Amino acid sequence: MILARPARWALLVVFTVLTLVPLLWLLLSSFKTTEELFASPFALPHSWSFTNYSSALRAQPMVTFLRNSVLASLLSTAMIIVASLLASYALLHTFRISRGVFGFLLFGILLPVNALMTPIFYIINELSLYNSVFGLSLTYAGVFFPLGFLVVKTYMDTTPAEILEAARLDGASFHGIFRRIIVPLTGPGIATAVIFLFITTWNELLFATLLTQDAAAQTVQVGIRSFLATYSANYPQALAATVMAIAPTVVVYMVLSDRVTGAMTAGSIK
């Protein structure tokens, strides 16, 4: 017991170092030239210039890539959250096949993503949604729905039954309970699901490569690969583009992580 606390702190320190050191190296390397990067990869940059960032924006349509990633992540996350809330609220009421429906909705977590490539490509192509941001968003919504549903359902199940019963006695309708009670009390679950879903869809590469061909529809994860061609590679520009790709997910996490804590302590039973 005496060594338990130091051991936990040591483990946290090691984990923090292993997490932050690669990010710090990525950020510092994005300011270096190619020669400087290979000559002294772990040294500080000689000059702190944003040349790699500006040249990366000129070399590839990074603004378009970032816009497509934002749209695809926001649209798919919104669709998943809405569907997860409705499905979780329906399963909050026990009926004959509720367990079967719950298992069916979570079955997608067990399926390997590679097994879905061919049918999803065929369906998206038949719907004339190939090479479009909406088609990619629809794919993300279907593939990652089980993840969002699991998080939202877990939080919604913690809603005290006494609150729902009191609302029914006060004459609240089925939809009124959902809108005024269930959704606010599920705030931590919604915020947590949004964080996971946004980061997951933002970093997705397999379907983004499979379902987009033109730069006008490609996401930032596909665009970064353009800096590393077969016969030429501009590593500083690629690192600068990677930093720009990481920044939005860090912002989303910093904003919503506070809301998770705030939502967990915001309400009380009167």
In angstroms, rounded to a whole number, what is the distance separating the alpha carbons of residues 66 and 69? 5
Tell me the per-residue pLDDT of 189-231, one tens digit each, with 9 for 90 and over: 898 899 899 999 999 999 999 999 888 999 999 988 888 775 6
pLDDT of 87 reads 93
pLDDT at 262: 55
Average pLDDT, the chain: 86
Residues in the chain: 270
Cβ atoms of residues 204 and 249 within 8 Å: no
Residues above pLDDT 90, as percent of the chain: 39
Give 269's pLDDT tier (boundaries 50, 70, 90).
Answer: very low
* Span 52-264 CATH architecture: Orthogonal Bundle (1.10)
* Residue 266 pLDDT level (bands cut at 50, 70, 90): very low
**pLDDT grade for 1, boundaries at 50, 70 and 90:** low
Contact partners, residue 89, CB within 8 Å, separation at least 6:
156, 178, 182
More confident residue, 194 or 49: 194
Ranking 24-28, 50-54, 261-265 by mean pLDDT, the lowest is 261-265
Q: 3-class DSSP state for residue 228?
A: strand
Q: What pLDDT score does 230 carry?
A: 58
Mean pLDDT to the nearest integer, 7-22: 87
DSSP 266: T
Predicted TM-score of the model (pTM) = 0.84
Phi then psi for 43, rounded to 5 degrees? -90, 165
- The model's confidence at residue 119, banded by pLDDT at 50, 70 and 90, is very high
Least-confidence region, from 37-51, 100-114, 118-132, 224-238: 224-238
**Mean pLDDT for the stretch of residues 244-252:** 88
Q: What is the pLDDT of residues 147-176, one digit of tens each?
A: 999 999 988 988 888 888 888 888 888 888
Structure-token pair, residue 101:
């429906």
